[in-house]
Amino acid sequence: MRGAREQRGALDFETQETRIVFDEQRKIAAIEPVYRNDAHKLIEECMLIANVATARFLEATEQPALFRVHEGPSAQKLENLRAFLGELTLELPGGLKPTPEHYQSLLSTVEGRDDAQVIQTMLLRSLSQAVYQPDNGGHFGLHFEAYAHFTSPIRRYPDLLVHRAIRSVIRGRSKSAHVSRVPGAKGLRREVIYPYDMAGMLALGEQCSMTERRADDATREVDAWLKCEFLKDRIGDAFSGVIAAVTNFGVFVELHDLYIEGLLHVSALPGDYYHFDQAKQRLVGERTRQVFQLGGVVAVKVARVDLDDRKIDLELADGASSKRAAGAGPRKPGEGAKKDKSSRERSKKKRKTAQKANHESQGQPASNKAKSNKAKSDKAKSSKAKSSQPASSTAQSGQTDVKDGGATKKPKSRKKTGKSAAAKSSKRASSSRKER
């Protein structure tokens, strides 16, 4: 079965799932990773076979039923993915319609690289979400032409609808070459056992897709609250983490060994203005050229935990900086050094000018020095005489004129802002939390 999966080119992402272990007080004792062994994989393959057989049966009997449809990536997501891969000198073949084989070949190419996990994350994010609908569009990720959910009718309503569709064929009055009925079993009217048409199935598909997203969101909300409760007594503690997502307002860091994510807001990054590079999935400091990139390792400490909003705010640990993601490639020649180079050249020119002036001053004849000193003395006397005169002209206008390179200018009054930089920073941090 595993060989058949590889032969058809189904995607095989290695994702890390976790489970929460509670203590006797119903508090989180630990968050542990879940590892899939061969037994898990065997059961999963058997479930896939059952779901595919069900989808083929529904297609053959032309029953209006819900298929599990997973379409390929959109054009915009493909463009973003290829821009990211291009920075790593990688390429996803297939043009505007890549197949699962193209994805899987790229995964095989990067296997063993230090940045393989980062590349896999970007490949996953490029895929669309699966939905329930009566029009079969195939399953891109599993690379099946037809796929339906059949194995969990107790906990999933689409699976129950599929079971009802199969029962309507088995117990229906019309004959079917795809089923063998028990002798003597009476057929039941379709209106009684399966009162659904295509329009009804379309509405049910939209409803089930929406409730699935809502259930997933509710699960994540509870999970996030429990993790916030787990960290609320560890404010100030330092952790090592990996940058799991990059946005224009900060980076999300997943803490090692805890599998908990928190936001490292741009206002908590070292003093600089950071530009968001979507293609390379990184924030770059304008002046310092410091980089915070997807997959980079960073040392952080827990700054705040908000149980009501289920949010965790992080800060850089003292003296910490982001390490470039492994495999991110070397910096471009001269990157981050152009400003330093021009600054060094200006300083060098100033030193040469000062040295030249000093040499000329030392080489002046004594007579010239005397003339220079006399001229300075006359200038000082003249300025003293002017200062002793009454400032009648300025008093008449009620304003004081300021000399600036031979022209007179009125001094500009300063406006009082009443807002400190800290207040502005706090406002930006608050608005970013709302964005999340």
Length of the chain: 436
Burial class (CB in 10 A: 0-12, 13-18, 19+), 433: middle
Which pLDDT score, from 0 to 100, does residue 417 have? 39
Between CA 49 and CA 60, with CA 55 as vertex, the angle to 5 degrees is: 125
pLDDT surpassing 50 at residue 85:
yes
Q: Bridge partners of 284?
A: 275, 291
DSSP three-state, residue 387: helix
CATH 2.40.50.140 residue window(s) in the chain: 236-316
pLDDT interval class at 390 (50, 70, 90): very low
For residue 298, what are its two tokens? 């960073």
For residue 87, what are its two tokens? 């920075």
In terms of pLDDT, which residue wins out, 366 or 226? 226
Which pLDDT score, from 0 to 100, does residue 355 have? 58
Interacting residues of 97 by C-beta distance below 8 A, sequence separation 6+: 72
Of 63, 281, 272, 73, nearest in space to 172 by CA:
63
**Helices 116-126 + 75-87 axis angle, to 10:** 170
Instruction: Please give the CATH number for the structural domain made up of 236-316.
Output: 2.40.50.140
Please, where are the H alpha helices in 127-237? 157-171, 190-193, 198-231
pLDDT-above-70 percentage for the chain: 73
Interacting residues of 98 by C-beta distance below 8 A, sequence separation 6+: 72, 73, 78, 92
Which pLDDT score, from 0 to 100, does residue 343 have? 43
For residue 357, count other CB atoms closer than 10 A to its CB: 10
Distance between CA atoms of residues 109 and 90, nearest Å: 9
Residues 245-267: tens digit of each pLDDT: 999 999 999 999 888 999 999 99
Distance between CA atoms of residues 324 and 226, nearest Å: 31
Distance between CA atoms of residues 35 and 20, nearest Å: 14
Angstrom CA distances, 430 to 39, 140, 204, 436, stand at 47, 40, 40, 10
pLDDT surpassing 90 at residue 274:
yes
Which pLDDT score, from 0 to 100, does residue 165 have? 94
- Mean pLDDT, rounded, for 348-367: 52
Which pLDDT score, from 0 to 100, does residue 425 have? 39
Angstrom CA distances, 61 to 157, 177, 185, 423, stand at 21, 9, 20, 67
Of 200, 197, 194, nearest in space to 172 by CA:
194
- Mean pLDDT, rounded, for 339-349: 49
> Terminal CA-to-CA distance of the chain, rounded, Å?
42
Residues 154-203: tens digit of each pLDDT: 999 999 999 999 999 998 888 888 888 888 878 888 888 899 999 999 99
DSSP three-state, residue 253: strand
Contact of 277 with 335, CB cutoff 8 Å = no
For residue 322, what are its two tokens? 């982001």
Does an H or E element contain 75, and which? helix 75-87
